[in-house]
Amino acid sequence: MTLSEITTRTLEVPGATLAYDLRPGRSSEATALFLTASPMAAAGFVTMASHFTDRTVVTYDPRGSERSQLAEPTIPPTPEEHADDVHRIIEEMGGAPVDVFASSGGAVNALALVARNPEDVRTLVAHEPPLPTLLPDREATLAVVRAVNETYRRSGWGAGMAHFIAVVSHRGEFGPEFAQQPAPDPAMFGLPTEDDGSRTDPLLGLALVGSIGYEPDFEALRKASTRIVMAAGLESEGELAHRSATAAARRLGADPVIFPSNHGGFLGGEYGQMGEPDAFASKLRDVLGDG
């Protein structure tokens, strides 16, 4: 698939201007596939989209990320706002129902989408949504996430990202003392130690505040016509997002489906991260029923 075959569109929605991309598939009969994460933008799905050229693939930049602009850039969007954005894109492209692969914060938003508009989605594969509200160490985990945001607010992007990495890579429950521990030195991760003064990072400044306290509407999800598959990475067992996927799956009466690699297993070098995209795409195709 060449760049010239990708159509980029913009959509005005309340409080934001969204950018989204359409990659036409070989078959007009196949169900379109919406690939989404948050705050990671469409650029993170270039490799994964290349594995699904048989069907139309839709990607987008969530409000506040890369090409999608917020009218009020300091106000964190909520999962419900993100869900409404995806709903409007699906309406605009006239493609409902679609299949959705959603990872990380995108999976949180996709659960909100299905609870509100189940007719939009045939199958949702929700990969490692960070949902501290579902965990037995809920209060300690929420305190840890707040501590990451406080580090960012106090010391800037490098310090905040170092703290974030330490938290998301932690395996097992968080004790009550974890939030009081000092943030690691950003230089340990090759991150900048200086503070550039900005505080509108899509992850540290917006997503952590806007979505980390979200709790899915499981009653609505259980009633939805959408087939919901919770997914988790083989290599990320014990981490916050993996534990969240497991907890959500059990609330839906199932176990999570295990995908290759880790939290970013679908990445093929995007944003400097490498998962196992070939194996990941094959697993996704099987789960969607295309294998």
pLDDT in tens, 93-115: 987 899 999 999 999 999 999 99
Tell me if 33 sits within 8 A of 99, measured CB to CB: yes
- If one compares 244 and 74, the residue with the highest pLDDT of the two is 244
Count other Cβ atoms within 10 Å, centred on residue 27. 11
Per residue in 112-144, pLDDT (tens digit) is 999 999 999 999 999 999 999 999 999 999 999
CA distance 105 to 241: 10
| Structure confidence at residue 3 (pLDDT) | 43
Domain count within the chain? 2
Within this chain, do residues 15 and 152 fall inside the same structural domain, yes or no? Answer: no
State the CATH number of the domain containing residue 86.
3.40.50.1820
Percent of the chain with pLDDT over 70: 98
pTM of the entire predicted model: 0.96
Alpha helix (H) ranges present in the chain?
46-49, 79-93, 105-116, 138-155, 157-168, 208-211, 218-223, 240-251, 277-288
Within this chain, do residues 60 and 146 fall inside the same structural domain, yes or no? Answer: no
Per residue in 179-222, pLDDT (tens digit) is 999 999 999 999 999 999 999 899 999 999 999 999 999 999 99
| Structure confidence at residue 218 (pLDDT) | 98
Residue that finishes a domain, picked among 163, 188, 208: 208
Within this chain, do residues 52 and 172 fall inside the same structural domain, yes or no? Answer: no
